[in-house]
Amino acid sequence: MSSLEKIIRSRRAGPSVAFRERAYGSVERQGLIRDILGLANALVDGSRYLIMGVRDGGPDDRSFVGISNEELDQAYESYQTQFSRYIEPALKIDLETMELDGVPVAILALNDCAEQPYLLKENLSNAMREGSGWIRRTTEPRRLRRKDLQQLFDKTALSPAHHPTIQVGFTGQGPEEEVTLTVLDLSELPSAIAGAKFRMLMEAKQASQDVEGRATTRLERLVHAREFGGTKPYHQTTETSLMRRMGATEDEYHWADDYYVYETRTHKLNLSLENIGAVGLRDGLLTLDFPRLDGLGISEYIRIAPDSEDEESPKGYPKIETGERRIRVQAKVRSVPRHSTVPAFQQPLRVWVREQVKGRTLPVDYRLQSASLREPVAGTLRIHVSSAKTGT
């Protein structure tokens, strides 16, 4: 006899076990949600069971009437939808079947109720309003009272098993305490490249001053084609015009330079949050503090490429505040489910390191706060800065 069959045959109805003769019909949604909430909020340890297809008069007077295939089909299709819509936080409920005395019975098993209290996520009826809940202390659920809520919160606060266990680190094989970033130089700044091309044209024009007629234009065309390729048409220009264009390259290429410095030549850096506990984390706030140093910076927003048709930066980038001594990064953490790893930021940080910090190890202090945690998770990560790689 399996342990579940033993429970069904011999356990008395109580806070963690409920029996019901029939499955819940389409018009019994309120009863289904109330009974599930009552079991989920029961002040007991371990799994809870709602067993359907049983006529219960106690362990000595219990008979199995079974569940029809039609009822089972309806249960599979509709129950999980109802639980997802009306119960928060999310509650994992398994629907199992078992044949006892020749008839099928159905079991709703709640194997993880570690995030009490469980409440209504939205109005179900005038009598069952958003935010209300039920608890099963004997054989029937009743509405949660202030005393019940206090007991549930005390139970959660005192038990380490009812809190997430979060590890924070740079994204890698797992959350890593250290990461190495390479200095990215600015040797191909668009305005500098454009200015160099104009200088080449100027030199070509000056070199051909003694050449008469079409040879001058031919030489300039060759230099233009070499420097600008075939995408930019050639127009004969004077030295004065070239000088003016050389002087205007910084203004003309302002957006391209900005994108190159703060997007192209940055490291896309993210953190991972790993929950090794049996309870999920929700509604957290992650704060990082980088030192404020010459040669280290974080883009305050994501730049849009000059040739892009997008008009707004991608959403989900962390909030960046640059102060006198530190650069603070903050982002909300919506949830970290149990036994899972999630990225800390929807959009990775754009971190740039230049020659001034080459060879240094930079500390990054972190702090993760959440009502789900017994206390904030805090520590220090390290960034090692290595030599430049030109053109990468």
pLDDT at res. 18: 95
Cβ pair 156, 271 in contact under 8 A: no
Q: What does the pLDDT read at residue 165? A: 86
Which of 208, 236, 261 is a domain's end point?
A: 261
Q: Are residues 150 and 7 located together in one domain of the fold?
A: yes
Is 274 in the same domain as 370?
A: yes
Quick one: pLDDT band at residue 203, thresholds 50, 70, 90?
low
Question: Do residues 173 and 39 share a domain?
Answer: no
Q: Are 292 and 362 in contact (CB under 8 A)?
A: no
CB of 104 closer than 8 Å to CB of 51: no
* Whether residue 49 is found in the same domain as residue 147: yes
Domain housing 177: 166-185+268-386
Higher pLDDT, 77 or 66: 66
Q: Domain with 134 in it: what CATH number?
A: 3.30.950
Clarify whether residues 17 and 141 are in a common domain.
yes
**How high does pLDDT run on average in the chain?**
84
Q: How confident is the model at residue 215 (pLDDT cuts 50, 70, 90)?
A: very low
The torsion region of residue 324 among left (phi > 0), alpha (psi -120 to 50) and beta comes to alpha
Q: In this predicted model, what pLDDT tens digit does every residue of 334-361 receive, in sequence order?
A: 999 988 999 999 999 999 999 999 999 9
Same domain, 93 and 148: yes
* 94, 213: one domain: no
Domain presence at residue 391: no
* Six token digits for residue 105: 């019975």
Establish if 308 belongs to a structural domain.
yes
pLDDT of residue 213 exceeding 60? no
Does residue 229 have a pLDDT over 80? no
pLDDT band at 151 (very low <50, low <70, confident <90, very high): confident
Helix (H/G/I), strand (E/B), else coil: 275: strand
Instruction: Name, in order, each residue with C-beta under 8 angstroms of 8's C-beta and a sequence gap of 6 or more.
Output: 49, 51, 54, 98, 100, 105, 107
* Residues 293, 246 within the same domain: no
Domain for residue 86, yes or no?
A: yes
pLDDT at 228 over 60: no
Query: Is the model's pLDDT at 303 over the cut of 80?
Result: yes
Name the DSSP class of 116: P
| Last residue of one domain, picked from the residues 232, 261, 290 | 261
Per residue in 127-145, pLDDT (tens digit) is 999 999 999 998 999 999 9
Q: Output the pLDDT for position 101.
A: 93
Distance CA 363, CA 385 (A): 11
Looking at per-residue confidence, does 194 or 167 come out higher? 167
Give 275 or 231, the one with higher predicted confidence.
275
Domain assignment of residue 294, yes or no = yes
Distance of CA 34 to the CA centre of its chain: 32
Confidence of residue 157 (pLDDT cuts 50, 70, 90): low
What's the rounded mean pLDDT across residues 214-226? 44
pLDDT value of position 216: 47
Strand order in the sheet with 296-298: 267-269, 349-353, 296-298
> In the structure encoding, which two tokens stand for residue 165, read together?
């266990």
Residue 392 counted as domain residue:
no
Same domain, 124 and 198: no
User: Is residue 248 over pLDDT 90?
Assistant: no
Domain check: are 223 and 293 in the same one?
no
Domain endpoint, select from 261, 279, 305? 261
Q: Report residue 36's pLDDT band, with 50, 70 and 90 as the boundaries.
A: very high
Q: Which long-range contacts (CB under 8 A, 24 or more apart) does 155-162 make?
A: 155/43, 155/116, 156/116, 157/374, 160/374, 161/114, 161/277, 161/278, 161/279, 162/114, 162/115, 162/116, 162/279
Estimate the crossing angle of helix 190-207 against helix 214-228, to 10 degrees.
160
Residue 45 domain-assigned (yes or no): yes
* pLDDT over 70 (residue 325): yes
pLDDT average, residue stretch 299-317: 88
Would you place residue 241 in the very low, low, confident or very high pLDDT band (cuts 50, 70, 90)?
low
Same domain, 178 and 231: no
How many structural domains does the chain have? Answer: 3
- Per the model's pLDDT, the better-predicted residue between 60 and 326 turns out to be 326
On whether both 105 and 30 belong to a single domain, the answer is yes
The sign of the CA dihedral 138, 143, 149, 150 is: negative
Q: Average pLDDT for residues 365-384, to the nearest whole number? A: 92
Give the residue, 143 or 70, on which the prediction is more confident: 143
**Please, which residues bridge with residue 381 across strands?**
364
- Answer whether residue 250 shows pLDDT above 70: no
Place of tokens 């924070």: 168
pLDDT of residue 339: 86
Distances (CA, A) of 110 to 56, 107, 341: 20, 10, 24
pTM above 0.75? no
Q: In Å, what is the CA distance from 129 to each residue of 30, 121, 126, 153, 167?
A: 11, 9, 6, 21, 37
Distance (Å, whole) CA 258 – CA 254: 6
CA distance 173 to 176: 7
pLDDT at 204: 54
d(CA 358, CA 344): 27
Distance, in Å, from the CA atom of 351 to the CA atom of 374, rounded to the nearest integer, reads 32
